[in-house]
Amino acid sequence: CITPDTYTLVPVYLDPSSPTRALVINRDTGNFVLNQNGTDSVPFLTTFTIYGIFGVIRLLAGEYLIAITERERVGRLGGHDIFQAKQYSLTPIAKDFRHLTESEAKDEDHYLNIIEKQLKAGLYYFSYTYDLTNTLQRQSQLNSQPGAALWRKADDRFFWNRYLQSKLIDITLNNPDQDLSDFILPVVFGFVSIHQTSIKSRATNFALISRRSRFRNGTRFFSRGVDRDGNVSNYVETEQIVEVDPLEDKYEFEGKVKLSYVQTRGSIPIYWAQVNNIKYTPKLVIMELPDTLQAARRHFDEQTKYYDKTIIVSLVNKRGYESPICEAFKNTVSRLGDSRLSYYHFDFHHECRNMKWDRIQILIDQIENELLQQGYFHAEGSQICKTQTSVVRTNCMDCLDRTNVVQSTIAKWVLTQQLRAIGVLSNKERIDEVLEFMHLFRNTWADNADIVSLAYSGTGALKTDLTRTGKRTKEGMLQDLQNAVTRYITNNFLDGSRQDAYDLLTGNYEVKFRAMSPFVDQRAVHIRLAPQVLSVSTIMLLLMFLIPHSPEYAISIRLVTFACLAVIVFLVRFIISNGSEYVSWPSLVAREYRYFRTPTTKNWGMSQTELSNGEKFD
C-alpha cells in the first residue's frame, strides 16, 4: 500500500483469525515501524501484491526496498509449499533523487542495473513455512525451538539474503515491541526440484536441493580457494530427499517415510587463484601464506561442526597444469593430521580417458566402506530411525563439471541402499533398473549441474549428457564446446559486473555516499586506446583489399597496407602481453592478485609459486 509519505506492508495469513500487524515504512525518515492497529485508518493511493521482502539495500540515493513481485510454485515438500522467485521490484524509499550529482546518478543507475540482472537470473527459492536453509537432519535437531521464526533457525551459511535483511533483523533484536519476524523471509540461492513419481509402484516424492553459501561468493575466476575464516569459494550443500508412501490425511503429497542424503562441494581450501589474462588457460597462482594451514583447519572444523567426519574426494589432474594444486591440497590435508578427515584422490580425466566413464565405479569401490559407515537420514513420522554421520566433500578445479558427475553417481549408489533398507528394492535390485525413475533422476541431477554452474561460471555445466543419459554423445560434446567458448568470453569480458552484484547483495561491498566513483576506468591512455586503434587498422586493411584502386596509387596502397599490418601485429602482441588489462575486472572489491607478475613480487609479503600452463618458476 502506497501513500505519498509511507509504504505499508500488510501480511496475509493462512489463518484469517491471525492479528493483522502492518509494517509502515516512513519515506521521510526511513524508519520501519510495526503498526499494531492494522491499516483501517490509512488512505492509500494504490495497492499491489508482493510475495515477500527480499531485503533492503542502501545505494547513493538512499535505501531501496527489494520485493518479490512474482513467484512460481516448485512443489510441495514435507507438506509445505516451496516457491521460486521470478520477478522483483527495487523501490526507492526516499521520495526523490535531486540531491545526486550527474555522475552519482549515473553510478546509481549502474548499481541498479547489475542488481536487477543478478536477481533476474532466477536462482532464488523460498518457503513461508519450510526451512529451506537446513537439511532434514538439522531440522530434526532444531525441533527444540517450536514456534521460532524461520529466520531464527536458518543456517547462516545458506540464508543468502541475510545481509539484505539485516535492518529488519536488527530492529527485531533491539526492540521486542517491534518484532518484524513475519516480514523476514530467508531465501536460498541455488537449485530446488520437486517431483511426484513412483518407484516400483510405491508413491514417491523426489527432491533435490542445492544451497550456495553466501560467504566468499563470486564468479569462477574472481573467487577461488579459501579466506582466513575458512570460507571457500563455490561452496554448495546438496541434499537429495525422497518421501515414500503418502499420508492419507494430506491433500497433497507428504511421505510417511523421509530419506535424505547430503553432500558438499567447495573450492580447494588453500590460498590460490587463476589470474585472467585473456588466454584460454589463466595463470595459476598458489600463495604459500603463513596461515594457510590455519585457514584450511578452520574450513574443516566447520565441516566437522555440521557434518562430523569429512570424506574428501579430489578429482583434479595429477599431471600437467593442475598437478601443483593437487599436490598442495594433498600436503595440506596431510599436515592437518586430522583423524576426522579421509582423503581420496581420483584423477577423473586420466581414469575416464577414452570415454571409459564406467571407471567412476573405481572411486565408488574405494570409498564404499566409508559410505556404508556414514549412513543417511531416515525418519518415519516423528521417529528418527537413522542419521548421517559424515559427508562426502567433492572438488575439482571449478567444483562444477567433474564434481557434478561424481556427486550424482554417489547419490545414485546411496539411493539404492536407502530403497533396499525400506523394502522398495530387494537386496539384489539397483535403482538403475527402474528406468522410468532413472530418467527423472538423471535429468534432475543434470539440471542441478547446469544451475550450479550458471551461478559460478556463467554457463551450463559440461558433461551433462553423461549425467542425463549415462554416456557421452556427439550432441553433448558440441554443447560442451559451445559452453566452453561462452565461458571464455563470459569469464574474461563480462564477469566483472556479475562479481560486483555478488559483492553488493551479500554486503562484501557497501556503497559510500560522496566517495569517488568505483566505475572510473583508471587504466593508462595507451592501454585504453590500443583496441580502438587495432579496430581502425583492421578496417583500413580490409578496405585496402576490397576497394578498387588505380595503378598509379599501387605503391602508396602497398605502403599503407604494410603499415596497417605492422600496426595490427604490434597491437595484437601488445594486447596479449598485457592481457590482464583487458579483462572485465570487478569495480567494487579489488582482487589483490591482479597485478601478480613474478614469484618475488614484494607486495604480497609472502613466498609464492607462479605456474603458467603447468610450468614452475623458482
What is the domain partition of the chain in residue ranges? Answer: 6-129+163-177
Does the pLDDT of residue 589 top 70, yes or no?
yes
Q: How far is residue 135 from each of residues 165, 212, 318, 375, measured CA to CA in Å?
A: 22, 13, 34, 15
DSSP 8-state symbol, 11:
-
The cell numbers describing 298, all together, are: 578452520
Does the pLDDT of residue 421 top 90, yes or no?
yes
CA dist., res. 289 & res. 514, Å (int): 36
The whole-number average pLDDT for the span 196-203 is: 92
Does the pLDDT of residue 612 top 50, yes or no?
no
Does the pLDDT of residue 350 top 90, yes or no?
yes
pLDDT attached to residue 599: 41
List, as own/partner pairs, every contact residues 368-374 make where C-beta atoms lie below 8 angstroms and the sequence separation is at least 24, other chains included: 370/311, 370/342, 371/311, 371/410, 371/413, 371/414, 371/417, 372/417, 374/309, 374/311
Confidence of residue 614 (pLDDT cuts 50, 70, 90): very low
Higher pLDDT, 474 or 505: 505
Close Cβ partners of 547 (under 8 Å, ≥ 6 residues apart) = none
CA dist., res. 401 & res. 86, Å (int): 26
pLDDT attached to residue 174: 94
The most confident of 115-124, 392-401, 560-569, by mean pLDDT = 392-401
pLDDT attached to residue 606: 38
CA dist., res. 97 & res. 89, Å (int): 18
pLDDT attached to residue 580: 86
34-48, 125-139, 225-239: least confidently modelled range: 34-48
Higher pLDDT, 471 or 352: 352
Residue 611 phi/psi, 5-degree rounding, is -130, 130
Mean pLDDT, the chain, whole residue set: 88
Confidence of residue 251 (pLDDT cuts 50, 70, 90): low
